[in-house]
Amino acid sequence: MSLDEDKLKKFGFIERGPKDAINIDPLQTGGILTEDARKALLEWGDGYSICDFCGGVLDLIKKPPVYEFVHEALPEFIGTDEVRLTHGARESKFAVMNSMGKPGDTVVLDGLAHYSSHVAAQRADLEIEKVESSGHPEYNLDPEGYAQTIEKVANKSGKPPALALLTYPDGNYGNLADAKKVADVCHEYDVPLLLNCAYSVGRMPIDAKKIGADFIAASGHKSMASSGPIGLLGVQEEYADTVFRKSPTHKKKEIELLGCTSRGAGLMTMIASFPQVVERTKHWDEEVANARWFSEKVEELGLIQVGQKPHNHDLMFFETPPFYEISKTAKKGRYFLYRELKKRNIHGIKGGLTKYFKLSTYQVGRDNLSYVIDSFEEIIDKYAEE
């Protein structure tokens, strides 16, 4: 390809189709921008706009109040002594693993861990040992599994794992394990615990101190109404000097952050949304109630929610035999569901999935959720008649 004008015409501004749909995509329900964030995005969109105010360390900027945000508000919000901005949950996890482990060390992951936890460990040259869940249908994690796995690692390699990780909740079933017990078990073996809160910080109240977590990874674009890539890394005092060690040659710069991370509009959208994000976490019980209600309603249609039940999170996984049956004979095959939902302006169930899918009810509200339930029913009825 040579860069002639015809080829270049494919680029430029491109519209985003589904932007005004009812969105039940688990990746997206917590990341939709607030009005303030949308304004901030335009205001601060130019490259390095935030750097106008920087004296060498981004998170020390006083005006706009980045310092207060990162060093006062966020630590309070998630319950860690220190917080830094990162590009996302995976980058936070990598930063911890790269700091805490040496090549060849082991990290213990829960069996439901997101792929990015595996890949982060691989990037840091760490071995992985898993704590398996109970499997279908609840996929529960027994905190005692961490004890067994830690002992296994110690026996095998002669030293304890450098780190344990728990996905809270996991990204498939939306299960919330007993994180406090997991932390207690890990600490009995002096193994620090990283809590992957990609799906929790910004949605529900999280207090790392209460749980006993040593590290928190959070995701701005997933759960804090921020324009990505942006995330948080929370670290308790004990490990702050390790993870946030400074460069010997450039004394102000933190090595693990490569000096600075979120040097763009994303940070200003996170700050813009923050008051509303704090507020919404106070209404988490309503979100859980909505999720449970939704789950009950669609189970009446023949769908089956797997994972913890009653459920404690907006992210849910459903087995969907009625849709699978339809897909066997429907004209559009397994894409029928995607098309039917699209027609009804409902977005977020991966095209082609009919045997099972996950979805999120977060911030969708009862009215729209009712509409989704009715649409499911309508689609099932429509094909039953055919």
Ligand X SMILES: Cc1ncc(COP(=O)(O)O)c(C=O)c1O
Instruction: Tell me which residues touch ligand X (CB under 6 A).
Output: 27, 88-90, 114, 116, 167, 170-171, 196, 198-199, 219, 222, 231, 263
Asked whether residue 220 is marked as a ligand-binding residue, the answer is yes
Q: Nearest-CB residue to ligand X? A: 171
CA–CA distance, 91 with 198 (Å, rounded to integer): 11
Of the candidates 206, 214, 207, 216, which has an alpha carbon nearest to the alpha carbon of residue 236?
214
312 is in an annotated binding site: no
| Between 57 and 301, CB nearer to ligand X | 57
Q: In angstroms, how far is CA 191 from the centroid of its own chain?
A: 23
Torsion of CA 288, 293, 297, 302, to 10 degrees: 40
Can you say how many angstroms the Cα of residue 4 is from the centroid of all Cα atoms in its chain?
40
The dihedrals phi and psi of 105, each to the nearest 5 degrees, come to -65, 170
> Is residue 89 part of an annotated ligand binding site?
yes
CB of 385 to ligand X, least distance (A): 38
* Site membership for its own copies, residue 135 (CB under 8 A): no
Stretch that binds its own copies, among 44-52, 148-156, 317-325, 366-374 (CB under 8 A): 44-52
352 marked as binding residue: no
Closest to 67 (Cα-Cα) out of 267, 239, 290: 267
CB 208 → its own copies: shortest distance, Å? 15
Closest residue by Cα to residue 202 from 284, 281, 273, 287? 281
Query: Which one among 141, 217, 225, 232 touches its own copies, defined by CB under 8 A?
Result: 225
Q: Which residues contact residue 349 at a Cβ distance below 8 angstroms, ignoring those fewer than 6 apart?
A: 24, 25, 337, 338, 341, 357, 359
Name which of 196, 166, 179 is nearest 91 in CA terms: 196
Structure-token pair, residue 298? 């669609």
The site map against its own copies for 329-368 (x = CB under 8 A) is: ------------------x---------------------
Q: Which does 33 bind (CB under 5 to 8 A by kind): its own copies, ligand X, none?
A: its own copies
231 binds, among its own copies, ligand X, none (CB under 5 to 8 A by kind): ligand X
Q: CB–CB of 187/193 below 8 Å?
A: yes
By CB under 8 A, how many residues form the interface with its own copies?
94
Shortest Å, Cβ 310 to its own copies:
28
**Interaction mask 277-316, its own copies, x per CB under 8 A:** -x--------------------------------------
Binding-site residues for pyridoxal 5'-phosphate sit at 89-90, 196, 219-221
Binding-site residues sit at 89-90, 196, 219-221
